[in-house]
A and B are shown apart, each in its own frame.
Chain A
Amino acid sequence: MGSLSIAGLAVALWQWSVPRSPHTLVPSPWQSLLAILELAQKGLLTKYVIASLFRVTWGYVAALLLAVPVGTTLGLWRRGEAAINPVFQILRPISPLAWIPIAILWFGVGDSSAIFLIFLASFLPLTLTTVNAVHNIEEVHVRAGENFGLTKNELVKSVILPAILPQLIVGMRITLGIAWLVVVAAEMIAVNSGLGFLIIDARNAGNRYDLVVAGMILIGVIGVILDLLMRQLEKLPGVRWGYASE
Chain B
Amino acid sequence: MKVRIARVSMRFANMHVLEDIELGVPAGEFVCILGPSGCGKSTLLNIVAGFLKPSEGEVTIDGEAVAGPDPRRIFVFQERGVFPWLTVEGNIGFGLFRQSESEKRERIKHYVQLVGLTGFEKAYPRELSGGMKQRLEVARALAVNPDVLYLDEPFGALDSITRLQMRRELLRIWQAERKTILFVTHDIEESVQLADRVVVLSARPGRVRRIVNVDIPHPRDLSDPRYIALRDQIFAEIGLAHQI
List chain A positions with a Cβ less than 8 A from chain B: 138, 140-141, 143-144, 146-150, 154, 158-159, 162-163, 165, 237-242
B124 touches A144 (CB 8 A): no
Picked from A158, A238, A240, A241, the residue with its CB within 8 Å of the CB of B94 is A158
Asked, given contacts A154-B97, A240-B126, whether A147 binds B49 with beta carbons under 8 Å apart, the answer is: yes
A129 CA / B84 CA spacing, docked (Å):
20
Residues of B within 8 A of A237 (CB): 124
Interface of B, secondary structure class, is: loop
Which B residues are CB-close (under 8 A) to A144?
75, 77, 81, 83
A141-B83, A149-B95, A241-B124 given; 14 more Cβ-contact pairs under 8 Å: A143-B75, A144-B75, A146-B68, A146-B69, A147-B73, A148-B95, A149-B71, A154-B97, A158-B97, A162-B83, A162-B85, A162-B86, A241-B85, A242-B84
* B-side interface residues, number (CB < 8 Å): 23
Which residues of chain B have C-beta atoms less than 8 A from A163's C-beta? 85
| 1/0 contact string of B34-74 vs chain A (CB within 8 Å) | 00000000000000010100000000000000001111011
Interface centre among A141, A147, A159 (most CB of B within 10 A): A147
Of all chain B residues, the one with the shortest Cβ separation from A241 is B84
Asked if B51 and A159 make an inter-chain contact with CB atoms under 8 angstroms apart, the answer reads no
Contact partner, A140, options B49, B69, B77, B86, Cβ 8 Å: B77
Asked if B144 CB lies within 8 Å of chain A CBs, one says yes
- In the complex, A140→B74 CA distance in Å? 13
- A147 to chain B: which residues have CB within 8 Å? 49, 69-71, 73-75
Chain B residue contacts of A138, Cβ below 8 A: 80
Residues of chain A with a CB closer than 8 A to B154's CB = none
**Distance from A213 Cβ to chain B, minimum over Cβ atoms (Å):** 45
Compute how far the CA of A238 lies from the CA of B51 in the bound complex, rounded to whole angstroms: 28
Distance, CA A239 to CA B85, complexed state (A): 6
Q: Report Cα–Cα, A159/B84, bound state, in Å.
A: 10
> Which among A154, A159, A240 is the interface contact of B124 at CB below 8 angstroms?
A240
Q: What residue in chain B is nearest A246 (Cβ atoms)?
A: B126
Q: Which of chain A's residues have a CB closer than 8 A to the CB of B124? A: 237, 240-241
Q: Which of B51, B71, B125 contacts A143 (CB 8 A)?
A: B51
Which residue on chain A has the smallest CB distance to residue B78?
A140
Query: Is the Cβ of B69 less than 8 Å from the Cβ of A143?
Result: yes
Interface CB pairs A-B, < 8 A, 29: A140-B81, A141-B83, A143-B75, A143-B77, A144-B75, A144-B77, A146-B68, A146-B69, A147-B49, A147-B73, A147-B74, A147-B75, A148-B74, A148-B144, A149-B69, A149-B70, A150-B97, A154-B97, A158-B97, A159-B83, A162-B83, A162-B85, A163-B85, A165-B85, A240-B124, A240-B126, A241-B124, A241-B125, A241-B126
The complex places the Cα of A241 from the Cα of B71 at a distance, in Å, of 27
Complex Cα gap A33–B116 (Å):
62
User: B77 contacts A238, CB within 8 Å?
Assistant: no
CA distance in complex: A239, B80 (Å)? 16
Q: Please measure, in the bound complex, the distance between the C-alpha atom of A148 and the C-alpha atom of B72, giving whole angstroms.
A: 8
Q: Which residue of B lies closest to A238 (CB)?
A: B85
Residues of A within 8 A of B49 (CB): 147
Contact A140 B95 (CB under 8 A): no
A242 — which chain B residues lie within 8 A by C-beta? 84
Q: Pick the most buried of A141, A154, A165, A237: most chain B CB atoms within 10 A of its CB.
A: A141
**A147 CB, min distance to chain B CBs, angstroms:** 4
B80 to A140, Cβ gap below 8 A?
yes
A148 to B68, CA, bound (A): 11
Complex CA–CA separation, A141 to B91 (angstroms): 12
CB distance from B83 to the nearest CB of A (A): 6
In the complex, what's the smallest C-beta–C-beta distance from B75 to chain A, in angstroms?
A: 5
B126: chain A residues at CB < 8 Å are 240-241
Contact with A along B3-47 (1 / 0, CB 8 A): 000000000000000000000000000000000000000000000
Contact with A along B82-96 (1 / 0, CB 8 A): 011110000000110
How far apart are the CA atoms of A163 and B124 in the complex, in Å? Answer: 14
Q: A240 vs B123: C-alpha distance in the bound complex, in angstroms?
A: 12
On whether A148 and B71 interact (CB within 8 A), knowing A143-B51, A158-B94, the answer reads yes
**Interface 1/0 per residue, B103-127 and A, CB below 8 Å:** 0000000000000000000001110
User: Which residues does chain B contribute within 8 Å of A159, judged by CB atoms?
Assistant: 83
Q: How far apart are B32's CB and chain A's nearest CB, in angstroms?
A: 21
Measured CB to CB, the closest approach of chain B to A121, in angstroms, equals 29
